[in-house]
Structure 1
């Protein structure tokens, strides 16, 4: 049996691969058509102009669904492993809410371009990166609380390093973008897709975009740490029949059917 056939380990793998492909394909298309500069554009800028914005939006919507599925499986796994730990239960629920909000933000980023609806796009970015960072932090605390009985120490330290990486990138991005957009560096920065080294604020722009890409990579690395955990879990779906036919409204014994949510040979 291949490693990705064990449990649900294919979920975080598919999430990272698909999201990376969305960024790469959109970047290649945008650069090829000269819509953005090759040197570190904003991730959103690679999905601003047609046709790459269509590809960017469609692929990120699918990525949001994969992300919700991954976050939900992680929630169910922690819930099953620690049924009586009140702190872990609360943190686990908080992580689920934060993760879903982050996925909602990813969908907003995918469907509302920066140059079209700036407020909606920025709101989505704040949800994606802000709630996503908090989700990583909560999951790292859970990893600490569950060690060494359930979680190994190595996993905790890896996740902690990824959270620190994410935090440094987020601080750099927030600081430089705040200075760039609040300072006297031009009147049309939102619509600007091409930057020259001679432009005012060029260095701040490059630091901001580098921090944004770096933060995205920290997210990818964090979800990849779920692969080993997900090899040890599978989900089942339960069907309860409340009638012998689709038209029968009379009470009848409940008939249960339990089948795998996903086949082992998927």
Structure 2
């Protein structure tokens, strides 16, 4: 049996590979058509102009679904391992809510380009990176609380380092972006797709975009740490029938049917 066939380990793997592919394909298309500069454009800039925005939107919508599925499986796993720990239960629920909000923001970023509806795009970016960072923080705390009995110390420290990486990137992006869009470097910079080294604020722009890419890669690394955990879990779906037909409303005892949520032959 291959490693990705064990449990649900293919979920975080598929999430990272698919999202990275979405970034790369959109980037290659955008620079080939000269829609963005090849050196460190904003990630969303590579999905602003057609045809790459179509690819970007479709692929990131699938990423959002994979993200919610991955975070839900993680939620169920932690709940099963610590059913009576009150603090862990609360943190686990908070993590799920934060993760879903982050995925919702990702879908907004993918479908509302900054040149089309800037407010929606910025709200999506704040949800994606803001809630995503908080999700990493909550999961790192959970890893700390569950070590060494359930989680190894190595896993906790890896997630802790990735969380610090994400926090530093987020702080750098927030500070530089705030200064860049303060009005001292021109107006409507949020919709600008091409930058020259001679432009005012070019250095701040480069730092901001580098921090955005860095933050995204910290997310990739964090979800890859789920692979080993997900090898030890599987989910099942249970169908409860309340009648022998789809139009009969009278209660009728019928045997329940249980099957794996995802077959190993998938």
> In the aligned structure 1, how far is the partner of 2:38 from the partner of 2:62?
26
- Which moved further from structure 2: 251-260 or 197-206? 251-260
Alpha-carbon RMSD: 0.7
Render the CA deviation track for 1:42-73: whole Å, top value 9, x for unaligned.
Answer: 00100000000000000000000000000000
Asked whether the equivalents of residues 101 and 131 of structure 2 are also in contact (C-alpha less than 8 Å), the reply is yes
TM-score when scaled to structure 2? 0.99
Counterpart residue number, 2:29: 29
- Which moved further from structure 2: 184-193 or 168-177? 184-193
Give, in angstroms, the shift of residue 187 of structure 1.
1.9
Counterpart residue number, 1:154: 154
Counting only pairs closer than 5 Å after superposition, residues 98-177 of structure 1 correspond to structure 2 as: 98-177=98-177
> In the aligned structure 2, how far is the partner of 1:99 from the partner of 1:189?
30
Give, in angstroms, the shift of residue 247 of structure 1.
2.1
Give, in angstroms, the shift of residue 265 of structure 1.
2.2
> In the aligned structure 1, how far is the partner of 2:142 from the partner of 2:230?
16
> In the aligned structure 2, how far is the partner of 1:259 from the partner of 1:265?
13
Asked whether the equivalents of residues 244 and 254 of structure 2 are also in contact (C-alpha less than 8 Å), the reply is no
> In the aligned structure 1, how far is the partner of 2:188 from the partner of 2:145?
48
Counterpart residue number, 2:250: 250
* SS of the residue 1:156 aligns to: helix
Give, in angstroms, the shift of residue 246 of structure 1.
1.5
* SS of the residue 1:258 aligns to: strand
Structure 2: give runs of 5+ residues left out of the alignment: none
> In the aligned structure 1, how far is the partner of 2:85 from the partner of 2:254?
33
Asked whether the equivalents of residues 103 and 128 of structure 1 are also in contact (C-alpha less than 8 Å), the reply is yes
Q: Are 2:188 and 1:200 aligned?
A: no
Q: Are 2:13 and 1:13 aligned?
A: yes
Structure 1: give runs of 5+ residues left out of the alignment: none
4+ long deviations beyond 3 Å: none
Counterpart residue number, 1:78: 78
Render the CA deviation track for 1:147-182: whole Å, top value 9, x for unaligned.
Answer: 011000000000000000000000000000000001
TM-score when scaled to structure 1? 0.99
Q: Are 2:62 and 1:68 aligned?
A: no
Alignment length (residue pairs): 266
Render the CA deviation track for 1:10-42: whole Å, top value 9, x for unaligned.
Answer: 000000000000000000000000000000000
- Which moved further from structure 2: 14-23 or 252-261? 252-261
> In the aligned structure 2, how far is the partner of 1:177 from the partner of 1:66?
29
> In the aligned structure 2, how far is the partner of 1:9 from the partner of 1:220?
15
> In the aligned structure 2, how far is the partner of 1:191 from the partner of 1:158?
37
